[in-house]
Amino acid sequence: MSRRRPARIAAALAAILLASACSGGESDLGFDENGNPVVDPGDCVRVDAAVSSEKIELLSALAADFSASDLAETDDGECIAVIVQSKASGGAAQLLDSGWDEEAEGPRPVIWSPASAAWGSVLNQRYETSGREPIANDSTPFMLTPLVIAMPQPMAEALGWPDEALGWGDILTLARSSQGWADYGHPEWGPFRLGKTNPNFSTSGLSALIAQTYAAAGKTAGLSAEDLRKPEVIQYGTDVESAVVHYGDTTLTFLNNWYRADQRGNPYAYVSAAAVEEKSIIDYNTGNPDGVLSQGEQPRPPRVPLVAIYPEEGTLYSDNPLIVLDADWVDDTEKAAAAKFVEFVQSAENQEKVLEFGFRPGNPDVALTAPVSAANGVDPAQPQTLLEVPDPAVTVAVLDAWADQRKSARVTLVIDVSGSMGEPAVDDTSETKLDLAKRAAIEALDEFKDDDEVGLRIFTTDLDAAGATFLDLIEPSRVGDVRENLANRIRDLVPLNGTPLYDVARDTYEQLAADYDPARINALVLLTDGRNDDGRTDDDGRQLDELLNALTAGSEGATSRPVRVFPIAYGGDADLATLRRIAEASNGAVYDASDPRSITKVFTAVVSNF
Partner 1 sequence: MKRAGALLGVVVMVTVAFLVRNVLDTDDTADGSSPSRSGPSVLCPTELADVCEASDVEVSTESAGSTADRLLAASDTDALDADAWIVPAAWARLVIDERARLGRAPLFEIADEPLASSGVVLTIWADRNDELATTCGGDVGWRCLAEQEGATLATGDRVRPAGPLADSAGGLTLAAGQMAELVGRADFAANDFDGTVRSLADRLARGQMSDPLRTMRSRGPGQITAAGVLLADARNLSSTFGAIVPIAEGGPRADLVVLVRRGADLDGGLRADLAAAFVAAGWDPPADGSDGLPDGSVLAAVRTLWNQSR
Whether the ω angle into residue 162 lies within 30 degrees of 0, i.e. cis, is: yes
Q: In angstroms, give the least distance from the CB of 577 to partner 1.
A: 4
Site string for partner 1, 16-45 (x = CB under 8 A): ---xxxxxxxxxx-----------------
Q: In angstroms, give the least distance from the CB of 521 to partner 1.
A: 22
In terms of CB distance, is 116 or 285 closer to partner 1?
A: 285
CA atoms within 13 A on the CB side of 513: 20
Q: Which stretch binds partner 1 (CB under 8 A): 15-23, 202-210, 371-379, 405-413?
A: 15-23
Residue among 178, 296, 349, 430 that touches partner 1 (CB under 8 A): 296
User: Cα 511–515–517 angle (5° rounding)?
Assistant: 135
Site string for partner 1, 504-543 (x = CB under 8 A): -------------------------------------xx-
Q: What one-character DSSP code corresponds to residue 390?
A: P
Do residues 567 and 609 lie in contact, with contact meaning Cβ atoms separated by under 8 Å? no
In terms of CB distance, is 313 or 584 closer to partner 1?
A: 584
Judged by CB under 8 A, does residue 303 bind partner 1? no
Other C-beta atoms closer than 10 Å to the C-beta of 348 total 11
Judged by CB under 8 A, does residue 301 bind partner 1? no
Counting residues that bind partner 1 (by CB under 8 A) gives: 32
Residue among 260, 449, 561, 601 that touches partner 1 (CB under 8 A): 260
Query: What part of residues 538-597 is at the interface with partner 1 (CB under 8 A)?
Result: 541-542, 544-545, 548, 552, 577-578, 581, 584-585
Q: In angstroms, give the least distance from the CB of 456 to partner 1.
A: 29
Q: In angstroms, give the least distance from the CB of 542 to partner 1.
A: 7
Judged by CB under 8 A, does residue 290 bind partner 1? no
Residues in the chain: 610
Whether the ω angle into residue 371 lies within 30 degrees of 0, i.e. cis, is: yes
Between CA 564 and CA 236 the distance in angstroms is 26
Q: Cα dihedral angle (220, 221, 225, 228), rounded to 10 degrees?
A: 0
Q: In angstroms, give the least distance from the CB of 545 to partner 1.
A: 5
In terms of CB distance, is 170 or 575 closer to partner 1?
A: 575
Q: In angstroms, give the least distance from the CB of 7 to partner 1.
A: 25
| Distance (Å) of CA 435 to CA 160, 291, 403, 487 | 55, 37, 29, 13
Sign of CA dihedral 384, 389, 394, 395: positive
Closest to 250 measured CA to CA, from 376, 89, 387, 485: 89
Q: In angstroms, give the least distance from the CB of 257 to partner 1.
A: 12
Helices (H), ranges, 310-377: 332-345, 348-355
Q: Which stretch binds partner 1 (CB under 8 A): 169-177, 293-301, 409-417, 516-524?
A: 293-301
Q: In angstroms, give the least distance from the CB of 609 to partner 1.
A: 21
Between CA 440 and CA 442 the distance in angstroms is 5
Beta-bridge partner residues of 382 = none
Q: In angstroms, give the least distance from the CB of 258 to partner 1.
A: 13
Residue among 2, 98, 130, 294 that touches partner 1 (CB under 8 A): 294
Judged by CB under 8 A, does residue 300 bind partner 1? yes
Residue 155's contacts (CB-CB under 8 Å, 6 or more residues apart) are 181, 186, 189, 268, 272, 273
Number of helices (H) and strands (E) in the chain: give both, helices first: 21, 17
Q: Which stretch binds partner 1 (CB under 8 A): 13-21, 48-56, 167-175, 422-430?
A: 13-21
Judged by CB under 8 A, does residue 263 bind partner 1? yes
Sign of CA dihedral 459, 462, 468, 469: positive
In terms of CB distance, is 529 or 556 closer to partner 1?
A: 556
In terms of CB distance, is 30 or 424 closer to partner 1?
A: 30
Between CA 164 and CA 209 the distance in angstroms is 23
Q: In angstroms, give the least distance from the CB of 586 to partner 1.
A: 10
Burial classification of residue 192, based on how many CB atoms lie within 10 Å of its CB (0-12 exposed, 13-18 middle, 19 or more buried): buried
In terms of CB distance, is 310 or 502 closer to partner 1?
A: 502
In terms of CB distance, is 300 or 536 closer to partner 1?
A: 300
Beta-bridge partner residues of 83 = 48
Q: In angstroms, give the least distance from the CB of 503 to partner 1.
A: 18
In terms of CB distance, is 31 or 357 closer to partner 1?
A: 31
* Binding site residues, partner 1, CB under 8 A: 19-28, 259-260, 263-264, 287, 294-298, 300, 541-542, 544-545, 548, 552, 577-578, 581, 584-585
